[in-house]
Amino acid sequence: MDEIPDSHPRAESLRIRHKIIHGMEHNVVAKAGLIAHGRGEAFDYLLGEETTLPAKKAIKAAAAALLLSKYPVISVNGNSAVLTPHEIVELAEVSGAKIEANIFYRSPERLEAIKKVLEEAGAKEVLGVGETANGEIPEISSVRRVVDTRGILIADTVLVPIEDGDRTQALRKIGKTVIAVDLNPLSRTSQLANITIVDNHVRCMPLLVEEVKKLKNTPKEELKKILKNYDNKKVLGEVLKLIRDRLKEIAEKGSTIT
Ligand code: PTJ
């Protein structure tokens, strides 16, 4: 693939896009992952392509929830694996979470390819691949119901980045705390998760790692207070208001392009 010149006004966005394309060419990302990425890009435009204040509140709550969990699991799909493999590994290390590959377009080859990407980034254990991936969550209608008996099946908290929507409700139904990363504040996942980080996965993962490090030695009571004061509906409302105000300002002032 051609090198993207630094001078290109959208160089960073194109580099991220190329990671997704490269991932698809190597059977890590599903074909539909390209479409999902495009949908994410569109919402990122509306957000101004930056981590907003409501997203920062959600990141803090997510960090507290991970640290309070007895058995947190980071669920990894094709897109999240190619976008932030190192951050996934680091988040698992600092939060004590397990990493599990769990995909919508399921095939043994894709699961192996995702595992390889994560292992190359330093993961010592990737659940969801091979023999122990024989658990089932019947409440999930898609093949994502097949989970690892040492992972999502027994998790109390599941981080679900770039999610396809049918799973969050099912996971919540069986009592799991769901943390979503989704640029679309209107998606089923965003609306149904306990904590929704409306931010680009690429931007939010390093921030989440830092927040977990920062809160790691905070007393449990303090962490519980952070969660008690967090209101996901309110935070999603703040995101929508932010988009509304931003669009209003642009509409009144004209183009944002400098
Ligand atoms: O790897 P698989 O087989 O599990 O398939 C994964 C995809 C992504 C194809 C599957 O989960 C899917 O079809 O997802 P959806 O229904 O398109 O939903 C993905 C959501 O993630 C959408 O709401 C997008 O706006 C959002 N999204 C896309 N890219 C990003 C993102 N959110 C945060 N960061 C991103 N980089």
Q: Is 191 in the pocket of ligand 1 (CB under 6 A)?
A: no
Nearest CA to ligand 1 atom 8: 33
| Ligand 1 atom closest to 181 (CA) | 33
Pocket test for ligand 1, best of 162, 183, 189 (most atoms within 8 A of CB): 162
Distance 170 CA to ligand 1 centre (A): 17
Instruction: Report the alpha-carbon distance of residue 194 to residue 201 in Å, rounded.
Output: 17
pLDDT at 256: 64
pLDDT values of the chain reduced to their tens digit, one per residue, 258 residues: 567 777 777 778 888 999 999 999 999 999 999 999 999 999 999 999 999 999 999 999 999 999 999 999 999 999 999 999 999 999 999 999 999 999 999 999 999 999 999 999 999 999 999 888 889 998 888 888 999 999 999 999 999 999 877 899 999 999 999 999 999 999 999 999 999 999 999 999 999 999 999 999 999 999 999 999 999 999 999 999 999 999 999 999 887 665
- On whether the CB atoms of residues 133 and 108 are closer than 8 A, the answer is no
> What is the homologous superfamily of the domain 53-239 according to CATH?
Phosphopantoate/pantothenate synthetase (3.40.50.12640)
Report d(CA 182, CA 186) in Å as an integer.
9
Nearest ligand 1 atom to the CA of 144 is: 4
Cα 3 versus chain centre, distance: 27
Domains of the chain, residue spans = 53-239
pLDDT of residue 116: 98
Segments of the chain assigned E as strands: 72-76, 98-101, 135-136, 146-147, 157-161, 177-181, 195-197
Please give the pLDDT value at position 186: 96
User: How wide is the angle at C-alpha 104 spanned by C-alphas 80 and 79, nearest 5°?
Assistant: 15
